[in-house]
Amino acid sequence: MKLKSLEISGFKSFADYTKIEFEDGVTGIVGPNGSGKSNVTEAIKWVLGEQSAKNLRGAKMPDVIFAGTSKRRPLNRAMVTMILDNSDHYVESDYTEVSVTRKLFRNGDSRYELNGQECRLKDITDLFSDSGIGGNAFSMISQGRVEAIFNSKPEDRRFIIEEVTGVSKYKSDKEKAKRELEQTAGYLNRVNDLVVELE
Ligand code: ATP
């Protein structure tokens, strides 16, 4: 699984269609202050379904749409497409390349697409659950978060390590299985009561 490219259009400072290709190795994005470097990571967060405008440094979601400049009129639509190389089938999909698109129009209409087909946000979050990719996953570490991890209490740090290593999923699966066992035990007791009553 590898981030292959990102297509941004009408999102924040990216008024024009921009395609960023991520080659093998490390990719660094450099530019003067305010040139839009953070907007690239926010585009990734957004396409993966971020629902909080605040987490994208806005007051409301339409703030992500290009708001115009002294020389350019505002746009009516923001669009981001993220393309992942899935030739190792790291995420459960038959596709060797997975593309995720999110669009938002100024009138409030929005749309998500998986490989070009309209889908629900849930389809996207389900696809990436347990993959380590996602709005809240640790695949994206912001400046402040590094400090927060180092300064966190041991139990909070343990939670983070469990999230990263995928242990949390097994813990929640275990809790679910326990609840189902308890429920089944309850049903069995009820059946036994009925058997006694019928005898
Ligand atoms: P720094 O190095 O200071 O952290 P940066 O390169 O990460 O900066 P960003 O914070 O990504 O820059 O981009 C900020 C720029 O994006 C600002 O110039 C801001 O005006 C512009 N911007 C944010 N939202 C919009 C929008 N909806 N429409 C147009 N421009 C926007």
| DSSP result, the chain | -EEEEEEEESBTTB-S-EEEE--SS------STTSSHHHHHHHHHHHTT---SGGGT-SSGGGGB----SSSPPPSEEEEEEEEE-TT--SS-S-SEEEEEEEEETTS-EEEEETTEEE-HHHHHHHHTTTT-STTSTTS--HHHHHHHHHS-HHHHHHHHHHHHTHHHHHHHHHHHHHHHHHHHHHHHHHHHHHHHH-
pLDDT at 14: 98
Instruction: List, for residues 150-166, the tens digit of each pLDDT value.
Output: 899 999 999 888 877 77
What are the sequence ranges of the domains in the chain? 2-140, 151-199
Using the mean position of ligand 1's atoms as its centre, give its distance from the Cα of residue 109 in Å: 24
User: Is any ligand 1 atom within 6 A of the Cβ of residue 12?
Assistant: yes
pTM value? Answer: 0.81
d(CA 135, CA 100): 13
pLDDT at 17: 98
Annotation: CATH topology of 2-140: Rossmann fold (3.40.50)
Atom number, ligand 1, closest to the C-alpha of residue 39? 11
Instruction: List, for residues 54-77, the tens digit of each pLDDT value.
Output: 999 999 999 999 999 999 999 999
Distances (CA, A) of 149 to 34, 137, 152: 27, 14, 5
Atom number, ligand 1, closest to the C-alpha of residue 36? 11
Instruction: List, for residues 93-151, the tens digit of each pLDDT value.
Output: 999 999 999 999 999 999 999 999 999 999 998 898 777 777 666 778 877 778 888 89
Q: Is residue 49 marked as binding?
A: no
Q: What is the mean pLDDT of residues 177-188?
A: 97
Give, using CA atoms, the residue closest to atom 21 of ligand 1: 13
d(CA 53, CA 188): 49
Atom number, ligand 1, closest to the C-alpha of residue 74? 28
User: Is any ligand 1 atom within 6 A of the Cβ of residue 38?
Assistant: yes
pLDDT at 128: 86
User: Is any ligand 1 atom within 6 A of the Cβ of residue 41?
Assistant: no
Give, using CA atoms, the residue closest to atom 14 of ligand 1: 34
pLDDT at 170: 86
d(CA 169, CA 72): 47
Instruction: List, for residues 25-50, the tens digit of each pLDDT value.
Output: 999 999 999 999 999 999 999 999 99
User: Is any ligand 1 atom within 6 A of the Cβ of residue 119?
Assistant: no
